[in-house]
Structures are given as C-alpha cells and as structure tokens.
A and B are shown apart, each in its own frame.
Chain A
C-alpha cells in the first residue's frame, strides 16, 4: 500500500505542481495482460487535456480509473494519480479508501458521461438529482440548494430553469439532458471535470454549443478539464494539451498546437489524415441536368401513427417526411444529410420499398437506361423479387447487421440461397469472390462475425449487399459507427466498388464532411423536408440556407486555427420559426423549394 498522503512540504513549489499527475498507470482485466500500459499524463489548473483515441484505445478506462469507476473485473496494477487540490494536501487517488474517495467524487472531481439518457435517473426530477450533490457534499438545505441549482441551470442555457428543475429526464432533448449533466457536474465547483465523450451522442450543431458551454464554464471557474474524445476536430477546438492513446499506450502527447500542427508520431499523422474535412475553396461546377436517372422519389410523404401505448388510446400522428422529391443518377452518389430525427433514414427505407410511403407520391426505378420505370411502391411478388436483386442496403451498425450465429460463408451466400441462384459450389465461389472484392481474405469464410473488427464487419456487410449484383445501394450511415481511420478506408472501398461496378448510391449521413468526399449531389434535410440541395462544391462554398450554414459551421476540423462560429450554428440550428425571414417557418410550413441558380435548390421565399 502506498502512502495515501504525500507531505505537502516535500513539494518544491506549490504553484508549479500540476493539479493531477498520473504516472505509470497500468490496468488489466483479471489476470489477463494489461490493457493500459505505462500511461503518463498531467494536467495543470485551468487547463484542458484531451485524451484522444479510437475504440479500444483505453481512453475511457483510463479516465474512469481516476475515480475508480471501473468494470468489476478491472484491476489497477500499478501507477499513481496524485491529485493536488487547493484546499487540502495532495493525495494519490489510487490509494484512497472508498470512503475518502467518495468525498472527492462529485465534489473536487466530477464526471460527465457520453449518454446523457443513461446517466440521469429516469425516476427523479432533474433538479433534485443535481441538488443532491449540494446536500451531500456541502450540507445545503433543500431551499438553498434549489436556488443554486436554478441559477446553474440558467447558466448552462436553460431558458426556463424553474421548469427544467421540475422536469424528468425524458422530457428533455439529448442536448438539454447533457446540459443538465454539466450543471450537475459543475454545481459543486469541482477543480477537475472529467468529460467522457460528452458530445459524441449529440448532433453536430448541439455538440458545438455544448463544447462552447464547457469552455465558457471553464473560463469562469478556472477548473481543469480532461476531455475524452475520438474526434480530432473537438480536440483542436477545445484542448490545450493532447494525449494520443492507442491500445492502452500513449503514442504522443504534448501541447495541442504541436501535436495537431506538427505531429511526430505515425499514428497521429494517420489519424489526422483520416479526419474528413469540408473543402473550403473549390470552383463550383456548372450544373448538369440529370439524363439517366436510376431512382426517383416524387412528392413523398410519410406519416407515422402511434397509438400512445394503449389499445383504446388516441392515435397520434407524426409526419416524418414531408413532400420529398429527389433523383439519383445512374453511377452517381446522392447524399442526404441531416441530424437525428430529420427523416433521412425513413426516406432511405421508403426508397427501397421497405416502408410504405403515404399515398400520393411516386417512387420510380429504371432498371436500365431508357427502360420503362418500375413503380416501387406497388410491386407484385415477382417484380419485388427482381427489385430486391437490383437494390440493396448497407446498414449503420456493423455489430448488429451480421447474425452472430452464422459463419461468414452463410451470411454471404444467404441472399443467393433466398433467390435460388447457383449451386452450392457456385455460391461458395461467389462468397469467396465477394470477400476479395471488399479487401478481405477468402480463408475467412469459416469464421464467425464476432472475430472481426468494426471496419471488417462493415466490409462484410457491404459484401453481402453486393452478393446479388445490385445496381443501387442505399447506404444508411455506413461509416458513422466506425473509427475515423477505418471510416476513411470504408469510404475508399465504397468509392472503389461504385466505380468498378457502376453502382449508384443513395447515401445517408449526419456528417457533412463524409458526404463532401463521396457525393455528387447533396440534399440537406431538416424536420422531414429538404431545405437545400446542390452539388457538394456549390453547397459547401456557397450555402444559402441558414441551417446548411449552421451544419457547415458546426463541423469541427482538426485544425487549430479554425474555430467555431457559434452564432451561425445557433441561428441555423434553432427553431425554424427563428430563421431569417426569407427562410423562416410560417405557421407550420416552410417556404417552397425554389431553384435559385441552376442545380441549386433552396427553401426560401422568392
């Protein structure tokens, strides 16, 4: 057992010692080899340290070990974490007793987690959950705690803090819940805030606002922040120091401008190269009319009816998609960009006939140039079978899209067996061929999906979608569950097979930077409607709509010199009623979609 207390007088100079100094940290599960090895970092008062890494890098375990909120079987093998608060003598967090640690948690050091829904108790009013810290650590009375919480809620951006105090977590949106979490973490004025991917589950525009909030609070209170993230764009915008982790080891650490600006380690360089970016200057190309469409949606509406839980309950209608029209050109990529709840995935499902649209619209599919279009919404059995061979889908989550009980060979040959194509032997050969097409090895046929990494599984998913030789792929956020470096490889693969096989893509994404790379035409959706549509170079260099501008402004780039323009973000991401007059929602309808220039559609009053 190490000495819990390190004598204050052994320190050379109280002002220069870091707030937290972690040395030689090693953590392992049970008796397996350590997953965190020799991690060192330190953070000064008022500074922001970013722990950066991809999935499996151990960044979350590292930050959670500081407060010892680890999975049950995890053991800290070695290391010290000397925490030096202003008010008391420095302590080693790893050798504190549980009881002593409780006084540190939530009081001197507090933490915010990735998923705000799971970190707030659904059964208690938010205000009371936040006030608990004050009554526990500060001995406040209920009334004085409430006053302070309401004040804090106002500070973190609740318009009506009294109402937020009495609200339950499910009444708030994700961004608002994360604000409540921040209020909870900040209420005891901690000296160190540990933020574990606090913005990953949020939309980009919300992310920008939450980051700004954390930064503002930090300036006010002078606390230090450890920011765990996988996103170099976030790092460049918020951190003073960076610590790049890979497989539980520190690859590179140092001041942000050096590590991001002039990375010395190959891994950091690779991460930076993989970060997608929005082109800043490109010559807008002239618009061309679509001559050879493959898929066309015209005037599509979709209303979901929910029965509000009860058999006899009232029907509640939600319009997820409003009057969407789009045309995918053969051999090209049409991208739909939008935040969660924009209706983009519903459009994808409607395009494949997997979800029935409301009556009135039309979905047309041209099997080949000049042929008569097929009406996707009204297919008979044999037409549907033929259409399924032509159009396939690539899913978002590589961990849910492959059945864990099937071997790769069964997964890849299943489409062929469903459609009765080929003999067993031919099917097996086809599966091997598919594996090689997506860059994997044919000796993997007998493996099980769980042996593969996220990127490999997404390749398998793409291979399965290719099995029937389709002409159209609908990709529903195919890269958003992947690490940045893997995301880049998968995008390259998608581009490669599009060009090799003349595929056409309907590409759904929430990430403008991803779309910038792959799309030939981009539509931005908000609340079920397309608000702006153009070729990517037009859209990114000359966006017209405030929402598009907000999305572009909220994109964080791994470039220290680029900072977020928060005003643009707040304006465009806000309520559609508050948009500038020409774009604003009147009553419940937005202005019509007009072609302001050739090939550039904007929802604006002419």
Chain B
C-alpha cells in the first residue's frame, strides 16, 4: 500500500495493463449446458434425493414380482382384514434375525369384526429367495422366487391385508407399475401435443397464436373432474384392464397439454427475440433449421422441468378416477383401485391400514414436485449465485 500526500492511495500489488485476451474469462462455465445444469442441480439436495428415489422406484418396477412376498390377487381367506405385522429382530432377548409372530383370526361377534391374535410363543423367521406364488418375470417367463416370504403356517402382511385377504404391501408395489407409468404415457401425449401446438402458436404468431390461445382458455375453463368422468364413462365396459389403462392415460394427456403449450409458446416467443436467433435468420437460416438448432436445444431443459411438474397431476388424476370407480378396474391393481376399497368410512375406521395406498401417492407426488423444482432452479446455469 502506498499513501501519497492528499489522501491519495495507490495499490502497489503488481498490475499488468495488457491482459491476455486469449485467456478464458470463466473457465468454470466452459462446459455443455447439461453439465452445468447437473452441477447446479447437485447442490439442490431435496431435488437430488427425490430424483434418486424416483429413479429407484422406476427401476424397480419390472422386478416387483420378485421384491414382494405375495402376488397382487393372491387371496388369503383366513386373514381377511389382517392387521399389519411387525418384523422383529430379538425374541426373548436373543437375536434371531428378522421374524414375525404368526397371527390367527378371531371373530368378534359383538362388533362384527375380525381380531387378530399373535402367537408370541412361535416366532416365524422370514425366509429368503423362497418359493411363493408364481408371477411373470419381466414379462418373459414364469418365476416363483420371492426376495422374502413367511414360512409355512405364518403370513407376512407388513401393511395389513384388505377385505379379500390380499397383502396391501405387495399390492402397493404392483399398483406402482400402473400408477407410475400412467404419468409417463400421459406426459408423452401431452408433450407431443403441447410442443406441436405451442410451437406453431409461438412461431407463426398472429392469428394462429390467437386461435390457439382461445382454445387453451376454453379447455382450461372446463371443470376437470366432470370432464374426466365423461370421457372415461365413454370407455366401453367390456374392454380389458390394459386397454382401459391406455385410454385413461391418453385422456389425462389430452387434457394436460394446454399448460405445456403455453410454456412452449412463451419460451418460443422469448427465444425468437434473442440475438443469436436473429443472427441465424440474417445468415439465411431457414425456419426449420432455426427451430431445430437454436430454439429446441435452448428450451429442452425447460420442457423437462415442466414435464416433471405435470406428472404428479397425472398420477393424482388416475388415482382420483380409479377411486371413483371410473378409471382402472379390478383385476388391474393401481393405487386408485386400492383406495376404491377404502371408500367405506366404517372400514377405514376399523381397518385404517386399507388407506395406506395414500402414502405412496403423497410421497411420489412430492418427490416429483421437489425434482421439478430442483430442475427448474438449475435451468439457468449461467447466472452466478
């Protein structure tokens, strides 16, 4: 530090007036955007963990038959409305590994309900890679090995059993197969419609844009639930569960696109004003090239984030429809179908575990929302802080 007279201060650290214009200004930003987005997303812990959870959930879908002890429609006539069983580790103070107490049903003829009594004398240790009911592994071959199951003479109903004595834990996993994929199929339909229609409105503007905007407004003003009901009521009742499943997811997609179309349109309009797009136009690039090379790559990440935020709506939609009995029907298993069994207030009061399928709905919807939020926050990787 040098202080000259008159309060004149001059920094005396070495200074080179000829800065090298060939050196990178921000080497940390020298990466493709997806890498920068990932770098930023990693710092959003809630979003990151939600993403990992959802990834695991989706990856496990094909292996559900192996992971759970029962198959979805396996009835256990002796254990109607069985209460959830605890998995314990210590019996009489000694460690004997995970086990359950076998339960037996007793009819309570005063209240007309089943009570279950644990047999505390005979702990039943869980078995692993054991034989159970057979299921279709990956849709390729029949298999009957389960990760764990109860030994002969005992049951393992982790989250209880329903009115037909089916294991709720296993059914929730099977239900995930449909409930989680309904969102993906729906979002695909909604994506295709949203991008095409929103893109057209954004690119051509003028009357096309005006028309699309009004259609969207009309669609958005329709009350959602009655519309779903009307559309699903139109599905012929003799169709098989899979056909109904596809139709339902397409219906959900058909009603979801306006939000996405709006997002696409506004992003399109904003990007068209960017100077790099104008530069490409002045170089003589055709609209097709501008859309493919300049517009789409720049809003792909926004689209993914908005998709993540619309999937929960689809999952909730399927649940609501099935709950009302207008979506998927038994023997298909989805969370909404399971909740349909819990419509009866009395049964929830006496057997509260029949409402457990609400938990995965809540967890998955929250996870998608956190993931979507995390993605949205990391979309602009170039802003500093």
Chain A contacts to B: CB under 8 angstroms: 29-30, 40, 71-74, 249-255, 258-259, 264-267, 269-270, 311, 352, 354, 384-385, 388, 392-393, 395-397, 400-406, 414-415, 418-419, 439-441, 444, 447-448, 450-453, 455-456, 459, 461, 464, 468, 489
Report Cα–Cα, A400/B382, bound state, in Å. Answer: 12
Distance in angstroms between the alpha carbons of A405 and B293 in the assembled complex = 9
B370: shortest Cβ distance to chain A, in Å? 20
B94 at the interface (CB under 8 A from A): no
With A418-B284, A451-B29, A452-B25 as known contacts, state yes or no: A265 contacts B10, CB within 8 Å: yes
Interface stretch (choices B1-9, B81-89, B185-193, B325-333): B1-9
Contacts A270-B17, A468-B283; A440 near B22 (Cβ below 8 A): yes
Chain B 306-328, CB-CB to A under 8 Å as 1, else 0, gives 00000000000000000000000
Q: Which residues of B contact A251 (CB under 8 A)?
A: 10-11, 15
Partner among A264, A395, A453, A461 whose Cβ is within 8 Å of the Cβ of B10: A264
Q: Which one, A259, A401, A450, contacts B29 given CB within 8 A?
A: A450
Which residue in B17, B284, B289 is a CB contact (below 8 Å) of A384? B284
Which of A72, A255, A354, A404 contacts B6, CB < 8 Å? A255
> Residue of B at shortest CB range from A489?
B21
Complex interface residues of chain B between 262 and 312 (CB less than 8 A to chain A): 274-276, 278-285, 289, 293-294, 297-298
Q: In the assembled complex, which residues on chain A have CB atoms less than 8 Å from the CB atom of B382?
A: 404, 450
Interface residues in B, total, Cβ within 8 A: 44
Per the bound structure, the CA–CA distance linking A405 and B274 in Å amounts to 13
Pick from A40, A311, A400: contact of B210, CB below 8 A: A311
Assembled-state Cα–Cα distance A231/B126 (Å): 78
Interface presence of B223 (CB below 8 A): no
Tell me the minimal C-beta distance from A534 to chain B in angstroms.
Answer: 30
B142 interface residue (CB < 8 Å to A): no
CB <8 Å contact, A405 and B15: no
B56 at the interface (CB under 8 A from A): no
Q: Given A415-B283, A447-B24, A451-B25, answer yes or no on A253-B8 (Cβ-Cβ < 8 Å).
A: yes
Which residues in B have their C-beta under 8 angstroms from that of A253?
7-9
CA distance A265 to B21 in the complex (A): 21
Instruction: Identify which of residues 19-67 in chain B touch chain A, using a CB-to-CB cut-off of 8 Å.
Output: 21-22, 24-33, 36
User: Is the beta-carbon distance between A405 and B32 smaller than 8 angstroms?
Assistant: yes
Please, how many angstroms separate the alpha-carbon atoms of A266 and B14 in the complex? Answer: 10
- Tell me the nearest residue of chain B to A392, going by C-beta: B282
B contacts, CB < 8 Å to A: 2, 4, 6-11, 13, 15, 17, 21-22, 24-33, 36, 210, 274-276, 278-285, 289, 293-294, 297-298, 382, 384-385
Q: Does the CB pair A418–B385 fall under 8 Å?
A: no
B289 contact set on A, CB distance < 8 A: 418
From B11, B27, B275, B283, contact of A252 by CB (8 A)? B11
Contacting residues, chain A, for B275 (C-beta < 8 A): 395-397, 400-401
- Contact status of A388 and B282, CB under 8 A, knowing A405-B297, A448-B31, A451-B27: yes
Contact across chains for B278 and A450 when beta carbons are under 8 A apart: no
Main secondary structure of the interface of A (DSSP, over half): mixed
Of B4, B13, B31, the contact of A264 (CB 8 Å cutoff) = B4
A568 CA / B279 CA spacing, docked (Å): 39
A414-B30 in contact (CB<8A): no
Q: Is the CB of B294 within 8 A of A254?
A: no
Taking a contact as CB atoms closer than 8 A, the residue among A40, A269, A388 that contacts B283 in the complex is A388
- What is the CB-to-nearest-CB distance from B159 to chain A, in angstroms, rounded to a whole number? 42
Given A250-B9, A264-B8, A450-B30: A395 touches B17 (CB 8 Å cut-off)? no
Min C-beta distance of B249 to chain A, whole Å: 32
Contact B21 A439 (CB under 8 A): yes
- Do B21 and A456 touch (CB < 8 A)? yes
Distance to closest chain B CB from A397 (angstroms): 6
How many angstroms between the C-alpha atoms of A393 and B230 in the bound complex?
Answer: 56
| B11 in contact with A393 (CB, 8 Å) | no
24 contacts between A and B (CB under 8 A): A29-B385, A252-B8, A252-B11, A254-B9, A258-B6, A265-B10, A311-B210, A354-B281, A384-B284, A385-B284, A388-B282, A392-B283, A401-B276, A414-B283, A414-B285, A414-B293, A448-B30, A448-B31, A448-B32, A448-B33, A450-B26, A451-B28, A453-B25, A456-B21
Contacts of A259 in B (CB 8 A): 8
Find chain A residues with CB under 8 A from B4 CB: 254, 264
Option from A255, A266, A405, A450 in Cβ contact (under 8 Å) with B8: A255
Residue of A nearest to B210 (CB): A311
Interchain CB contact under 8 A, A254 and B284? no
Known contacts A251-B15, A264-B8; is A405 also within 8 Å of B298 by CB?
yes
Q: How far is the CA of A40 from the CA of B9 in the complex (A)?
A: 10
State A185–B269 Cα separation when bound (angstroms). 37
Residues of B within 8 A of A265 (CB): 10-11, 15
Please give me the residue from chain A that is nearest to B32 by CB atom: A448
Please give the distance in Å from B381's CB to the nearest CB on chain A. 8
Whether B384 and A29, one on each chain, are in contact in the complex, defined by CB atoms closer than 8 angstroms, is: yes
What are the residues of chain B within 8 A of A249 when measuring CB–CB? 11, 13
Residues of B within 8 A of A441 (CB): 22
State the CA gap A459–B22 with chains docked (Å).
Answer: 11
- The residue that A451 contacts in the complex, of B21, B30, B210, B274, with Cβ under 8 A, is B30
B358: shortest Cβ distance to chain A, in Å?
36
User: Cβ of B210: which chain A residues have Cβ within 8 Å of it?
Assistant: 311
Task: Report the separation of the CA atoms of residues A468 and B279 in the bound assembly, to the nearest whole angstrom.
Answer: 13
Beyond A254-B6, A255-B8, A405-B33, is A451–B24 a contact (Cβ under 8 Å)? yes
**Given the contacts A385-B284, A451-B25, A451-B29, A254 and B8 also touching, CB distance less than 8 Å:** yes
10 A-B pairs besides A251-B15, A266-B15, A489-B21 with CB distance below 8 A are A252-B11, A267-B17, A354-B281, A393-B278, A401-B275, A444-B22, A450-B30, A450-B382, A451-B27, A452-B26
Chain B neighbourhood of A439, CB < 8 A: 21-22
Residue numbers in A under 8 Å from B293 (CB-CB):
403, 406, 414
Query: How far does the alpha carbon of A451 sit from the alpha carbon of B382 in the complex, in Å?
Result: 10
With both beta carbons as reference points, the residue of chain A lying nearest to B289 in the complex is identified as: A418
What separation, in Å, do the CA atoms of A266 and B18 have in the docked complex?
A: 10
CB nearest neighbor in B for A398: B275
Q: Which single member of B7, B8, B276, B284 contacts A419 (CB below 8 Å)?
A: B284
User: CB < 8 Å: which of B6, B21, B27 contacts A440?
Assistant: B21
CB-nearest residue of chain B relative to A465? Answer: B279
For the complex of A and B, the 3 pairs showing the least CB-CB separation, nearest first, are A254-B8, A451-B30, A453-B25
Q: How far is the CB of B1 from chain A (nearest CB, A)?
A: 9
For residue B25, which residues in chain A have a CB less than 8 angstroms away from its CB?
451-453, 456
CB distance from A53 to the nearest CB of B (A): 13
Shortest CB distance B65–A (Å)? 42
Which residues in B have their C-beta under 8 angstroms from that of A270? 17
How many Å lie between the Cα of A385 and that of B282 in the bound state?
10
Cα-based distance from A354 to B283 in the complex (angstroms) = 11
Q: Which residues of A contact B32 (CB under 8 A)?
A: 405, 448
Known interface pairs A29-B384, A395-B275, A404-B382; A418-B285 also in contact (CB < 8 Å): yes
Closest to B4 in A: A264
Given A270-B17, A392-B282, check contact A252 B22 (CB 8 Å). no
How near does chain B come to A355, taking the closest CB pair, in angstroms? 11
Q: Which residue of B lies closest to A448 (CB)?
A: B30
Instruction: Name the residue in B15, B27, B298 with the highest tally of chain A Cβ atoms < 10 Å from its Cβ.
Output: B15
Chain A residue with Cβ nearest B298: A405
